[in-house]
């Protein structure tokens, strides 16, 4: 089922940040064979840089936080929530969905949701899989997400890629799963279509690698010609050139570190060039019908008493 735009007016894009340590990145994990003991935690400082960047730009965003980060660093999750951003879920550990059984997956997202809701004081309705790892063999994950009271997923990058991506997937928000009264919306990572090919404008290594102006042009083209929102994402560790650099093969080094020094300036320019908001707010204004009800970020932030409860310890 397609999802239709409710109202005319300027298109607001979704800005998202996957909150994890630099060593959670799959390329980094492979380079160190999963041995991350003794590596310094840098997630709080790098996420503070993200918060400062967003505050300067006057932009609210969705933070897909790893459950274990929420458990070990509750203060930074509270800071994100108190700044008016959306807290969403990136799983408990940074384990690929493709490496988990449905039971393990359910236990992980349930545990992460509980931790993040407790610490952040707002309902968590969004999920993003580590390394976009819901492929054709993991379609069962959507039903599990809906059953665990998630309302949207953002784990599909509709491009051709060696590691992830489905170039035939729809490019804009749509209902990906339904059973009776329960539904789940998919909000794919942004692409622009040129000559029949989907090009990535939704962030990741591509944004660090390609000229910022090209990405901005692509996003504006989608907004103007298709009247659709782009989902854009990045990681706090991309703004942290000071992170440890263990030896790794050149192709991994390239993917993980390329363009990190210029990244912050490029992001600031991007945020000034188009409209951005939380995924929750973009979906609330895009999705209509009884299938999936998604309240706005403002409505969510005002509701639970736990905001006040946690607010004392910022």
Which stretches of the chain bind Zn ion, using CB under 5 A? Answer: 18, 20, 130
CB of 57 to Zn ion, least distance (A): 23
CB of 20 to Zn ion, least distance (A): 5
3-state secondary structure of 16: strand
| Shortest reach from residue 43's CB to Zn ion, in Å | 12
The DSSP line for 63-123 is EEE-HHHHHH-HHHHHHHHHTTPEEEE--SSS--GGGS-HHHHHHHHHHHHHHHHHHH-S-
Q: What is the DSSP letter of 226?
A: I
Quick one: 156 or 192, whose CB is closer to Zn ion?
A: 156
Q: Which is nearer to Zn ion, 20 or 153 (CB)?
A: 20
Residue matched to tokens 């404008």: 201
- Given the complex with Zn ion, which of 89 and 222 has the nearer CB atom? 89
Please state the closest distance from residue 90 (CB atom) to Zn ion, in A.
Answer: 6
Return the number of the residue (120 or 130) whose C-beta is nearest Zn ion. 130
Report the residue closest to Zn ion, judged by CB: 18
Contact predicate 174/186, CB 8 Å: yes
Smallest distance from the beta carbon of 310 to Zn ion, in angstroms? 24
Which pair of structure tokens corresponds to residue 20?
């994890």
Spatial neighbors of 13 by CB under 8 A, at least 6 apart, are 190, 219, 223, 229, 230, 231, 232, 274, 275, 276, 277, 282
The nearer residue to Zn ion, 18 or 264, going by C-beta atoms, is 18
């Amino acid at each position: 089922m397609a999802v239709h735009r409710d109202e005319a007016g300027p298109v607001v894009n979704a800005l998202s940040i996957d909150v994890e340590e630099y060593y959670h990145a799959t390329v980094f994990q492979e380079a160190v064979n999963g041995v991350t003991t003794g590596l310094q935690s840098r997630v709080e400082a790098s996420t503070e840089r993200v918060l400062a960047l967003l505050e300067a730009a006057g932009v609210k965003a969705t933070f897909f936080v790893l459950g274990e980060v929420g458990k070990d660093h509750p203060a930074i999750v509270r800071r994100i929530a108190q700044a008016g951003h959306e807290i969403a879920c990136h799983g408990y550990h940074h384990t690929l969905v493709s490496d988990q059984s449905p039971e393990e997956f359910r236990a992980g997202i349930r545990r992460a949701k509980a931790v993040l809701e407790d610490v952040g004081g707002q309902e968590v309705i969004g999920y993003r899989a580590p390394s976009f790892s819901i492929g054709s063999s993991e379609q069962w994950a959507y039903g599990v997400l809906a059953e665990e009271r998630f309302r949207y997923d953002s784990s599909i990058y509709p491009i051709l890629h060696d590691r992830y991506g489905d170039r035939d997937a729809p490019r804009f928000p749509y209902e990906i799963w339904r059973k009776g009264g329960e539904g789940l919306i998919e909000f794919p990572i942004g692409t622009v279509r040129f000559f029949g090919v989907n090009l990535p404008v939704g962030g990741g290594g591509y944004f660090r690698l390609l000229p910022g102006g090209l990405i901005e042009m692509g996003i504006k083209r989608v907004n103007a010609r298709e009247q659709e929102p782009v989902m854009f994402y990045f990681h706090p560790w991309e703004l942290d050139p000071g992170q440890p650099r263990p030896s790794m093969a050149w192709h991994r080094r390239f993917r993980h570190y390329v363009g990190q020094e210029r990244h912050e300036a490029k992001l600031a320019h991007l945020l000034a060039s188009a409209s951005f908001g939380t995924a929750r707010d973009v979906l609330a204004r895009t999705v209509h019908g009884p299938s999936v009800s998604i309240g706005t970020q403002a409505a969510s932030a005002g509701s639970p008493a736990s905001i006040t409860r946690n607010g004392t310890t910022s």
